[in-house]
Amino acid sequence: MQQRERQGSVDTTVGYEVPRASDRPPLALGETAADASLPGALHATVALGETLAAPLPEVAEGASAPRVTSTSTSVLPRVEAEGKGVRLVPTSGPRYRTVRSLGEGGMGEVALVEDRDIGRNVAMKRLRATFGQGPAVVARFVDEVRTIGNLEHPNIVPIHDVGVDESGRYFFVMKYVDGETLESIVTRLQAGDPRAIADHGITRRVEIFVGLLRALQYAHARGVVHRDVKPANVMIGRYGEVVLMDWGVARPIAKVGAHDDAQRMSPDEMRATPSRASETHAGALIGTPLYMSPEQAAGKNDELDARSDLYSACLVFHELLGLRHYRSSTSGSLGELLEAIRAQEPENVHTMFPAHPANPQGIPAELAHFCRRGLARDPAARWQSAEEMIAELEAILEGRCRVQCPVTFMKRSTREMGLFVDRRPRFAMGAAIVTALVVLGLIANALRDLIL
């Protein structure tokens, strides 16, 4: 869920021109991937709480909706000057005043609201009225609140408050990140926006990705997987801060799969075109298809761990660097896309990043090697932790890249030679003079032989 209003835009990922996921109207309860257009399904988050609805968790027989009362009343008094003193004027009414809508999904909606007590703008997410206040719905909402509430980190949006509004709907209040999504930045880079290109060179893009990795590093250390890492869920604030948003389908690693209730998709539901071959794709889809790991695409939710998030993160990084989606050449049905994710090995480093006008100097070879490892189909062959990835990228930024090909050998050798000169300048100068004299001697001998 984005915390920024954006004008309608198009997304040409996977060869389609469709509204971006954030601009698409939500699907109705019970609507499947087959009912919607394929591109929309590719960008949708497939789980209850986002654009593809699913059955709710089972609840005990006879359970009833919780009885709720409004808790969003303003508390602090208004302070007014009165002569040489002050007067406290009691206030009443809702604490939060809606300014405008920021977006909505299948289960929740986010609005920019004014906190009248503190005097600041914040973002409020609340249950959509159409979902009611049943125990299963509220239970999922509570899970999201407690997941985010236990992840206190600079790169994760914090929760400030929870409550019930005047209409009886549960809500939680979080920091309003004034900025733009990574999806928006990629779009501007793809369009050749001069300001975006100037502000987002390769080094800055790596720094943004490191911010995303730090959020995942902290969440994984706390035993939580996000399961929906994508550009639309990454916000870049006005001060350059990177914030990972929308933890609505996050789950504790140890419990992933235990209570997942995402929709089981039948072959018909997987079929988006009449020519689609009939295949059985059993498995619960949770996440956004275009950014799923192979194990997510196979519906193996009980096997998802940190490496699944890191695969999705590498897809985001690949798109941020190359300005095209990793599977932009894939076309066909949703089922065919999922099959490609499950079966295909990553591209060769030499073809991974086609030329793009916004990348006049190309993508450094060491980053291509980095992405290729992160996109390995086998989780055991990928980067094993966000910490490991951060260390590798920091080494790359410092020029200490791994030697993995002739290009990286030359870059590493040049750096080491420079460090040697810095450490022992006199010795290096003497060696250079001797080498030059030897070369001149060899040239002189060769010329003499030619003359004679």
Least trusted range by pLDDT, from 12-26, 61-75, 216-230: 12-26
* More confident: 402 or 42: 402
pLDDT of residue 252: 87
Q: What is the number of other CB atoms lying within 10 angstroms of the CB of residue 396? A: 20
Least trusted range by pLDDT, from 68-77, 233-242, 280-289: 280-289
All structural domains of the chain with their residue ranges? 180-397, 417-451
**With 0-12 CB in 10 A as exposed, 13-18 as middle and 19+ as buried, what is 57?**
middle
Residue 230, annotated ligand binder?
Answer: no
Q: What is the pLDDT of residues 152-192, one digit of tens each?
A: 999 999 999 998 888 888 899 999 999 999 999 999 999 99
The angle subtended at Cα 406 by Cα 405 and Cα 407, nearest 5°, is: 90
Give the CATH H-level superfamily of domain 180-397. Answer: Transferase(Phosphotransferase) domain 1 (1.10.510.10)
User: How much is the pTM?
Assistant: 0.74
pLDDT of residue 301: 86
Q: What is the pLDDT of residues 305-316, one digit of tens each?
A: 999 999 999 999
Q: Are 44 and 125 in contact (CB under 8 A)?
A: no
Q: Are 175 and 118 in contact (CB under 8 A)?
A: no
* Alpha-carbon 446 to chain mean position: 62
- The upper half-sphere exposure of residue 220, i.e. CA atoms within 13 Å in the direction of its Cβ, equals 19
Backbone phi, psi, residue 73, to 5°: -80, 140
The angle subtended at Cα 222 by Cα 173 and Cα 237, nearest 5°, is: 45
**80 band by pLDDT with thresholds 50, 70 and 90:** confident
Instruction: Write down the mean pLDDT value for the chain.
Output: 77
Catalytic residues: 228
Q: Are 39 and 337 in contact (CB under 8 A)?
A: no
pLDDT of residue 263: 36
Least trusted range by pLDDT, from 112-116, 211-215, 423-427: 423-427
Q: What is the number of other CB atoms lying within 10 angstroms of the CB of residue 154? A: 12
pLDDT of residue 279: 28
The angle subtended at Cα 418 by Cα 415 and Cα 421, nearest 5°, is: 155
Q: What is the DSSP letter of 27?
A: P
To which H or E segment does residue 209 belong? helix 202-221
